[in-house]
Amino acid sequence: VVCRDGCIKAVGQADVIRNQFSGATFERIIDCSGKCVLPGLVDAHTHPVWAGDRVHEFAMKLAGASYMEIHQAGGGIHFTVEHTRKATEEELFHTFKHRLERMCRAGSTLIECKSGYGLNLETELKMLRVIERAKQSMDIGISSTYCGAHSVPKGKTVTEATDDIINNHLPKLKELKLSGEIHVNNIDVFCEKGVFDLDSTRRILQAGKDIGLQINFHGDELHPMKSAELGAELGAQAISHLEEVSDEGITAMARAKCAAVLLPTTAYMLRLKQPQARKMLEEGVIVALGSDFNPNAYCFSMPMVMHLACVNMKMSMNEALAAATINAAYALGKSDTHGSIETGKQGDLVIINSSRWEHLIYQFGGHEALIDYVIVKGKVIYQNERCGTMSSY
C-alpha cells in the first residue's frame, strides 16, 4: 500500500492488508496475481548527458585498440566533449530525457547522472542544468554528480586543470547551490594513469567535500592507483570500477563502509579484467552495480547488468538484486529512503510478469516483455502496453 505522499504505508500478506484497509478507498489497485513486486532498480553510475556517439570506435575496439590508445588518438572522451560543447541545452535535454525513459522501461527508478563531457565551466554547467531540469520535470529519481575532472582538457596540464576546478568550478557550484539554481549531490574524478593522479584526485575530492558534496569517484580501473585506499581515507560514499583494486584497498573500503560500484558492462565491452566481486563480498564490502551508460558502454538495462554480474563476476542472483537496489541506493546516500520495499520508504516498485523474480536476471535482454509496470512514488510511470496479455515464459 502506497500513500498519496508517495511513501509505502504497509507491506504484508494479502489477506492481512485487505483486512487492515477494508474501509479505505484507493485511487488505483493493481492485481499482481502470479506476478512479482520488486523494489525499483537503482543505477548507481551513468554518464547520460552528451552529444556525439562513438559507434565508430566500437569497430576499433573489436580490432584490438585499447581504451587509452583511442583516447590518445583524439577519440574517446575528447570526441564526445567536442560534440557536447557544440550542442545546445535543448538538444542535450531532448536526448537525455529519451535515455532516461529507456532506463525507466528497463526498471530503473533512481539513476545517478554525471556531467563530465564539458571539461570547461560553461559546458559542465550546461550539463548540470540539463540534469536539474530533468530532476524538476520528470518523475524518475536522479542523483546528480559533478564530474568536471573526467579528463584533462586539451592544452592544460593536470595541475592547471585541478587548479581551475578548485578555484573556479567548485565555487560557482557552491554559489548556484545557495541560490537554488542547481543542486549537485556528488563529486567525481577519473583517478587514472595519464588522467588525474592520486594527488590531484585528493585535492579535488577534498574541495568538493568541503562544499558539501558526497565523494563518489572513478578509481583503479585500468591501473592500480591506490584509489580505494584514498577513498576510504577521505570518507568516500562510493568508488566505481575497481578492476585493478589492491587487497589493501578492499580491506580499507570494507572498514570505511565505502560502497564499491561495479560495472560489468565496462569490463565486458573493453575486455578488462573483471572486478573481484567475490573477494569484496567475502571481505564485507558493500557491493553495488551500475550500467556505466555512456558512449563507450551503451547499455540502459540494469537487468542485463545483473545478468553480467552473475555470469562474469560470479555473484549470486540474490547478491546481484541487492547490488542493484538497496546497495546501489546506499552508494548514492539514499538507502534510508530507496532501494527496498519497507514501510516509510519511497514507493518505487517494478512489477514483473512472472511468479519468480529471478526471471529478471535469468532472461538475458528480455525485460521488454517481462516488466509490466514501473512505479515511482506510487505513480505508474511506465505500463507495458501488452501488460497481462503475454507470458514471460
What pLDDT digit, counting tens, does each position of 63-119 carry? 888 878 887 777 888 899 999 999 999 999 999 999 999 999 999 999 999 999 999
Strand, coil or helix: what is 265? helix
Side-chain-facing half-sphere of 265: CA atoms under 13 Å: 24
Q: Which residue in this structure is represented by grid cell 507491506?
A: 11
Range from 6-10, 38-42, 319-323, 386-390 carrying the lowest mean pLDDT: 386-390
Range 135-143 average pLDDT = 98
Q: Are strands 349-352 and 371-376 parallel, antiparallel or unpaired?
A: antiparallel
DSSP 349-386: EEEESSSSTTHHHHSTT-HHHHEEEEEETTEEEEE-TT
Question: Residue 275 carries which side chain, given as an amino acid letter?
Answer: P
Strand 141-149 and strand 186-191: pairing?
A: parallel
Q: How large is the average pLDDT for residues 332-341?
A: 98
Mean of all residue pLDDT scores within the chain: 95
DSSP lists the bridge partners of residue 297 as 294
- The 10 Å Cβ neighbour count of residue 15 is 8
Q: What pLDDT shows up at residue 392?
A: 52
Longest dimension (CA), the chain: 69
For 279-292, what is each residue's pLDDT tens digit? 999 999 999 999 99
Q: Can you tell me the mean pLDDT for 32-59? A: 94
pLDDT computed for residue 131 by the predictor: 98
Average pLDDT over residues 25-44: 96
The predicted structure's pLDDT at residue 393:
52
Strands (E), the chain: 36-39, 41-43, 108-114, 141-149, 186-191, 214-219, 238-241, 259-262, 287-289, 349-352, 371-376, 379-383
- The pLDDT of 384-390, averaged and rounded, is 72
User: Cell for 234?
Assistant: 577521505
| Residue 204's pLDDT band (cuts 50, 70, 90) | very high
202: enclosing H helix or E strand: helix 198-210
Would you say residue 391 has pLDDT above 80?
no
Q: Is the pLDDT assigned to residue 387 strictly greater than 80?
A: no
Give the whole-angstrom CA distance, residue 190 versus residue 152.
Answer: 10
Query: Domains in the chain, start-ordered, CATH in brackets?
Result: 7-36+345-383 (no CATH), 39-332 (3.20.20.140)
